[in-house]
Amino acid sequence: MNSRLTELTLIELTESIHRGEVKAEEVVEAYLSKINEKEPQIKAFITVTADLALEQAKKIDNKKEKGKLAGAPLAIKDNILTAGIRTTCASRILENYIPPYNATVVNRLLAEDALIIGKTNLDEFAMGSSTENSAFFPTRNPYDINRVPGGSSGGSAAAVASGEAVASLGSDTGGSIRQPAAFCNLVGLKPTYGRVSRYGLVAFASSLDQIGPLTRTVEDAALMMEVIAGYDPHDSTSASVPVPSYRLALKGEKKVFKIGYLPEEKIKEVTPEIKSAYFNLLNFLEREGFACEALDLKLWDYALPCYYLIAPSEASSNLARYDGIRYGFRYPGEHNLKSLYALTRTVGFGPEVKRRILLGTFALSAGYYEAYYGRARHVRYLIKEEFRKTFASVDVILTPTTPEPPFYLGAKVEPISMYLSDYFTVAANLAGLPAISLPMALTEKGLPLGLQIMAPPFEEERIFWLAFFIEKKVKSKRNIFNWKEEK
């Protein structure tokens, strides 16, 4: 068994398969061995599809012409539909649901000869920032198993960080790809709203949700985006915008971006190590010739309360379909229709999902609609306009991804403290902007810290180029915290 195979990047692995240096079946066996080794502690997967992956690998090995992702064992977040493979959303209400069709992104991955090695754990219905809200079990951070991997795509992030998958798909409604990427030392991209099809993604908040990749490198994320992005007639919100070669964009000449950043008063609540790493990186970029400008984003602090009105409101509507009648869990032995609805949803949903349904239902209720949901929609429009005007003067915006490093399991039982984890990430979803998180530094305890780059809609190329530039510089430095001392 070649254990080194699980250390290769996505591009290194697929190129080895294309050159005939290694077989897809051998790759799958190496990853299944790693899953057997790591899963008892990490618990990244709800379902491991060992037999299916081996069967797919044998077919790929027999193909003369192989796709871009040939033989790559990928993990899929368990709220993305996979035909014939259980898709639970980490909820009792869908515990035994097997979809009859694939999500569009899954079909696109399979068309390029990727392998599905399993479905990953998440906060129930993607509602959470720690993957502790799963109905089945919490996932643990590979960098410290006593800490969370982030959420809601915590299983997808932990699978890649622990070497159980070479890359994965997550979904991002308010930071659910970027925050786990930051906590697990990965690259995680939330694409522009409409850039990637949502067809086959179990809806949380339909105007905010996006599917995106979690990978070990920026170049791997660019490759994944080339495969999954693009118009889909099955998704009415899908944008008919051409998909460029993102990997080609990485190779271009040095671009002199004007970088906007948040001044210290906007990040006063972050931990000292994150603040130090963030400003040291900005200082370094200035020395590299980039112009950096402090931004006066007056509406930034309104994004979090705005999000926690809009997202639960849409969730309360989307989750109304889980009634025990059409599919999913049904409370046994109950024949009164009203009681059946109530008991099914009470037993089937976990505490956080019920909390958000109640919040959203209240915000949409008669007499409160305009005061809460209506006002939040107006603020969302203003936030989007502020970003549009800001991007007239800067090319990208850099922020920390999270206010703190990975926190301990059970540390945030009070919901408001958990919601504050999304402080830097929700604005991109409200405005429909592309945003990436990439590794920025490790703390003295070896815990990952992430940097977020945001850009105007459909400017993923801009994000990828700068992220690739920073990635190379960070990897060439021993310690970002000492950058300020260099001349």
Nearest Cα to Cα of residue 45 among 76, 18, 17: 76
Is pLDDT at 484 greater than 60 in this prediction?
A: no
Q: Are 304 and 310 in contact (CB under 8 A)?
A: no
Q: Is 303 left (phi over 0), alpha (psi -120 to 50) or beta?
A: alpha
CA torsion angle for 212, 213, 218, 224 (degrees, to 10)? -100
pLDDT at site 474: 82
Average pLDDT of the chain? 95
CATH, residue 358 = 3.90.1300.10
Q: Is 366 exposed, middle or buried (0-12, 13-18, 19+ CB in 10 A)?
A: exposed
pLDDT at site 268: 86
CA distance 311 to 173: 8
Return the exposure string of 432-464: e unless at least 16 CB atoms fall within 10 Å of the residue's CB, then b: bbbbbbbbbbbbeeebbbbbbbbbbbbbbbbbb
Is pLDDT at 255 greater than 90 in this prediction?
A: no
CA distance 272 to 261: 17
Number of domains in the chain: 1
Is pLDDT at 2 greater than 90 in this prediction?
A: no
Q: Is 131 left (phi over 0), alpha (psi -120 to 50) or beta?
A: left
CA distance 163 to 189: 19
Predicted confidence (pLDDT) per residue in 280-296, tens digit: 999 999 999 999 999 99
pLDDT at site 252: 76
Q: Going by C-beta distance under 8 Å and a sequence separation of 6 or more, which residues neighbour residue 353? A: 91, 124, 125, 127, 133, 315, 319
CA distance 167 to 186: 10
CA distance 195 to 434: 9
pLDDT at site 481: 60
Q: Are 303 and 426 in contact (CB under 8 A)?
A: yes
- Helices and strands per DSSP (H, E), number in the chain: 16, 11
Average pLDDT over residues 55-67: 96
Please give the structure tokens belonging to residue 49: 């599809």
Helix, strand, coil % in the chain, rounded to nearest 5:
45, 15, 40
How does residue 413 score in pLDDT terms, banded at 50, 70 and 90?
Answer: confident
CA 181 centroid distance within chain: 7
Q: Are 188 and 157 in contact (CB under 8 A)?
A: yes
Average pLDDT over residues 469-475: 89
Average pLDDT over residues 343-354: 97
Nearest Cα to Cα of residue 167 among 105, 95, 96: 105
**For the whole model, what pTM was predicted?**
0.96
The residues annotated as belonging to the active site are 77, 152, 176
Q: Count of CB atoms within 10 A of residue 85's CB?
A: 18
The interaxial angle of helices 460-476 and 272-287, nearest 10 deg, is 100
Residues of the domain holding 338: 1-487
Is pLDDT at 482 greater than 90 in this prediction?
A: no
The fraction of the chain above a pLDDT of 90, given in percent, is 92
Which of 34-48, 234-248, 256-270 bottoms out in mean pLDDT, i.e. has the lowest?
256-270
Predicted confidence (pLDDT) per residue in 117-170, tens digit: 999 999 999 999 999 999 999 999 999 999 999 999 999 999 999 999 999 999
pLDDT at site 1: 56
pLDDT at site 166: 98
Reduce the DSSP state of residue 451 to 3 states and report it.
strand
How does residue 479 score in pLDDT terms, banded at 50, 70 and 90?
Answer: low
Q: Are 450 and 440 in contact (CB under 8 A)?
A: yes
Cross-sheet strand order for the sheet of 45-48: 45-48, 115-120, 73-77, 167-172, 210-215, 187-190, 435-442, 448-454, 396-400, 258-261, 291-294
Is pLDDT at 341 greater than 50 in this prediction?
A: yes
Return the exposure string of 337-365: e unless at least 16 CB atoms fall within 10 Å of the residue's CB, then b: eeebbebbbeebbbebbbebbebbbbbbe
How does residue 65 score in pLDDT terms, banded at 50, 70 and 90?
Answer: very high
